[in-house]
């Protein structure tokens, strides 16, 4: 293949140990073992995708068989052995994919083939990629030969899921855990590649590539390839263009949204989210980025810009730090709990967009500034609100931290004029009766029609629901339960289907009754 037509991930694939980035300790250890002639029977490389497992395996095979030796390993002018290994055409170096060769018969054929010595090189090398995918019986067949192979035979295993590889196999190998490549190292590497390719890409766009690639060199090169292919008229590809290409949005929008949540501005929060959603952002990407932002707000004082994996620029870092210093950290821990639970909810809700909107509403009603404003408007308290609502006082106490909680953070009853009827609600049916008594028809309708009860106990209701459930249901139910009982209730969502809704139960009972009547001989 012509070098110019190769994708960057193949074109810049390391050919010698010195070209590998981010794995210096592994490289040095292997080089020293070969120089000292203390070569293990089997190597095992593990790590995430794109950090060099298969690449290092091929370089090891070349190092063992290069005609020039490890000291002068072929780089450009390849010897016969190195050229054959690089082209995957060498008779003595067999590269297998564990996903294809999974059965015991495949491994038996491999073992049978291993009985014959190398034809033109010093060692016969078997490279098994994604080794965790072969069957249990195939692993068992490998055990003996891995422990005591012929002197000319070496195994190199690679896997992304080390936990799926039996301990008996791991113990017979020299294991190397390849780490994610550090952000700064990866940035400098793709910047050099960009310069070699004469690409006009800004540093900020390159930093976005580093963030998305999550320490994977191959991913970074593939993303850079996309950027270079999208260039037009030698115009520089900046951060905004890169965000459009990769489906990412400006972090400053997320920081602005977070601030609006703290201010309790429902309208602007939802408007901003819809603006972000209209840019084509996947709800899962949004919620994970929001989770990351909560982490930064909580730990910003112990972080540096470099340690954020280029997620933030100087301006965003400073803005987060300024806001963070005025937020009660308990609020952020509660936000984190909510976000984790919402990620789970996205798997059970068909319309993920609505779920995100509900999530943002929950955060707003947990925000102390919002709670203060509501209590003042209803003349239920005389709590004061600071003129500068960008800041949240640290005197606001979070009464509980739960996985899912929708109740408001109301201070003790002695400090408010809220009057409760102090009633006890002992069952779901009891709750429906009280809704009927209090003429809360809309709430009763939602409970009967769109809610499936999973579990009911004191101060906790676990439910699943359908897509017709009203957005304000959780807020309304939490508020009414507090009003009626004087206690806070936890409303949690479950992946379990739960009981049929009350309406569905009534319909099923009606159908059963009709069928029984039809079967009656007198009818």
**Using CB atoms within 10 A of its CB, is residue 377 exposed (0-12), middle (13-18) or buried (19+)?**
exposed
Q: How many CB atoms lie within 10 A of CB 399?
A: 13
Count each helix (H run) and each strand (E run) in the chain, helices first.
22, 8
Topology of the domain covering 3-177: Rossmann fold (3.40.50)
Q: Which of 175, 82, 161 has the alpha carbon at shortest distance from 125?
A: 82
**Alpha carbons 509 and 494: distance in angstroms, whole number:** 26
Question: The tokens of 491 are what?
Answer: 């409303």
Same fold, 251-415 and 428-503: no
Q: What is the torsion angle, in degrees rounded to the nearest 10, for the CA atoms of residue 238, residue 242, residue 248 and residue 254? A: 0
User: How many residues are there in the chain?
Assistant: 523
Q: pTM of the full predicted structure?
A: 0.62
Q: Which CATH number fits domain 428-503: 2.60.40, 1.10.3470, 3.10.290, 3.30.300?
A: 3.30.300
Question: The tokens of 84 are what?
Answer: 């054959």
Q: Which of 273, 264, 294 has the alpha carbon at shortest distance from 392?
A: 264
Q: In this predicted structure, what is the pLDDT of residue 300?
A: 84
**Alpha carbons 335 and 337: distance in angstroms, whole number:** 5
**Alpha carbons 313 and 471: distance in angstroms, whole number:** 35
- Which CATH number describes the domain made up of 251-415? 1.20.272.10
**Alpha carbons 432 and 477: distance in angstroms, whole number:** 11
Q: In this predicted structure, what is the pLDDT of residue 500?
A: 85
Containing 106, the helix (H) or strand (E) segment is: helix 104-113
**Using CB atoms within 10 A of its CB, is residue 43 exposed (0-12), middle (13-18) or buried (19+)?**
buried
DSSP string, 434-464: HHHHTT-HHHHHHHHHTEEEEEEETTEEEEE
What 3-state class would DSSP assign to 61? helix
**Alpha carbons 328 and 523: distance in angstroms, whole number:** 71
Angular region, 444: left φ>0, alpha ψ -120 to 50, beta rest? alpha
Domain boundaries, the chain: 3-177, 183-246, 251-415, 428-503
Q: In this predicted structure, what is the pLDDT of residue 28?
A: 93
DSSP string, 475-505: HHHHHHHHHHHSS--EEEE-SS--SPPHHHH
Q: In this predicted structure, what is the pLDDT of residue 4?
A: 66
User: What tens-digit pLDDT sequence spans the chain (523 residues)?
Assistant: 566 678 888 888 998 898 999 899 999 999 999 999 999 999 999 999 999 999 999 999 999 988 888 888 888 788 888 888 888 888 889 888 887 877 888 888 888 888 888 888 899 999 999 999 888 888 888 888 888 888 899 999 999 999 999 999 999 999 999 988 888 889 999 999 999 988 888 888 898 888 888 889 999 999 999 888 888 777 888 888 888 788 776 678 888 888 888 888 888 888 888 888 887 778 888 888 888 888 888 888 887 776 676 677 777 888 888 888 878 788 888 888 888 888 888 888 778 888 888 889 888 887 765 554 554 454 443 333 343 444 444 344 334 333 434 444 444 444 444 444 557 888 888 888 888 888 888 888 888 888 888 888 888 888 888 878 887 888 888 888 888 888 888 888 877 778 888 888 888 888 887 777 777 777 6
| Residue 364 contacts residue 271 (beta carbons within 8 Å) | no
| Residue 296 contacts residue 336 (beta carbons within 8 Å) | no
| Residue 488 contacts residue 399 (beta carbons within 8 Å) | yes
CATH class of segment(s) 183-246: mainly alpha
**Alpha carbons 246 and 242: distance in angstroms, whole number:** 6
Residue with tokens 């009414």: 480
Exposure of 11 in the CB half-sphere (CA atoms within 13 A): 16
| Residue 262 contacts residue 392 (beta carbons within 8 Å) | yes
Q: In this predicted structure, what is the pLDDT of residue 29?
A: 93
Q: In this predicted structure, what is the pLDDT of residue 57?
A: 93
| Residue 437 contacts residue 480 (beta carbons within 8 Å) | no
Residues 6+ apart with CB under 8 A from 368: 328, 331, 392, 393, 396, 409
Q: Which of 189, 188, 161, 190 has the alpha carbon at shortest distance from 177?
A: 161
Q: ∠ CA 216-219-220 to the nearest 5 degrees?
A: 85
Q: ∠ CA 296-297-301 to the nearest 5 degrees?
A: 80
Residue with tokens 């002695």: 414
Question: The tokens of 1 are what?
Answer: 């293949």
Q: In this predicted structure, what is the pLDDT of residue 288?
A: 87
Could you tell me the strand order of the sheet in which 153-159 lies? 93-97, 124-129, 153-159, 42-46, 174-177
| Residue 98 contacts residue 57 (beta carbons within 8 Å) | no
Alpha-carbon 103 to chain mean position = 32
Q: In this predicted structure, what is the pLDDT of residue 155?
A: 93
Q: How many CB atoms lie within 10 A of CB 343?
A: 16
């Amino acid at each position: 293949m012509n070098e110019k037509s190769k994708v960057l991930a193949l074109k810049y694939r390391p050919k010698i140990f010195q070209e590998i980035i981010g794995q210096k300790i592994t490289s040095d250890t292997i080089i020293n073992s070969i120089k000292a002639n203390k070569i293990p029977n089997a190597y095992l490389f593990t790590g995430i995708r794109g950090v060099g497992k298969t690449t290092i395996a091929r370089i090891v095979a070349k190092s063992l068989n290069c005609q020039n030796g490890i000291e002068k390993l072929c780089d450009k002018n390849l010897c016969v052995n190195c050229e054959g290994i690089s082209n995957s055409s060498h008779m003595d170096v067999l590269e297998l994919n564990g996903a294809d060769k999974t059965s015991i018969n495949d491994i038996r054929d491999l073992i049978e083939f291993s009985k014959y010595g190398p034809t033109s090189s010093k060692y016969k090398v078997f490279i098994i990629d994604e080794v965790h995918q072969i069957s249990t019986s195939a692993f068992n067949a490998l055990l003996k030969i891995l422990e005591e192979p012929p002197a000319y035979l070496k195994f190199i295993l690679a896997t992304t899921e080390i936990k799926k590889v039996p301990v008996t196999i791991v113990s017979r190998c020299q294991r190397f855990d390849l780490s994610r490549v550090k952000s700064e190292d990866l940035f400098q590497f793709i910047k050099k590649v960009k310069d070699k390719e004469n690409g006009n890409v800004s540093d900020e766009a390159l930093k976005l590539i580093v963030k998305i690639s999550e320490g994977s060199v191959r991913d970074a090169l593939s993303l850079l390839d996309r950027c270079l292919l999208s260039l037009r008229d030698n115009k520089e590809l900046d951060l905004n263009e890169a965000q459009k290409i990769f489906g990412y949005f400006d972090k400053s929008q997320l920081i602005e949204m977070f601030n609006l949540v703290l201010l309790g501005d429902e309208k602007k929060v939802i408007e901003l989210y819809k603006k972000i959603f209209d840019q084509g952002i996947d709800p899962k990407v949004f919620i994970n980025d929001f989770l990351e932002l909560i982490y930064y707000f909580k730990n910003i004082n112990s972080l540096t810009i470099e340690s954020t994996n280029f997620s933030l620029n100087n301006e965003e870092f400073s803005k987060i730090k300024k806001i963070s210093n005025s937020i009660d950290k308990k609020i952020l821990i509660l936000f984190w709990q909510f976000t984790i639970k919402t990620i789970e909810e996205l798997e059970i809700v068909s319309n993920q967009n609505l779920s995100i909107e509900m999530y943002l509403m929950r955060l707003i009603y947990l925000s102390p500034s919002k709670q203060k404003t509501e209590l003042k408007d209803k003349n239920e308290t005389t709590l004061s609100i600071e003129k500068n609502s960008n800041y949240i006082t640290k005197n606001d106490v979070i009464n509980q931290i739960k996985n899912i909680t929708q109740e408001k953070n109301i201070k003790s009853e002695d400090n408010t004029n809220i009057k409760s009827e102090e009633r006890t609600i002992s069952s779901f049916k009891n709750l429906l009766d009280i809704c009927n008594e209090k003429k809360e028809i809309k709430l009763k309708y939602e409970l009967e029609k769109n809610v499936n009860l999973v579990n009911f106990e004191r101060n906790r209701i676990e439910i699943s629901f359908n897509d017709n459930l009203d957005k304000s249901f959780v807020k309304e139910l939490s508020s009414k339960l507090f009003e009626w009982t004087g206690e806070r209730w936890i409303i949690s969502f479950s992946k379990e289907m739960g009981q049929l809704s009350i309406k569905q139960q009534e319909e099923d009972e009606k159908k059963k009754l009709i069928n029984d009547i039809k079967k009656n001989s007198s009818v």
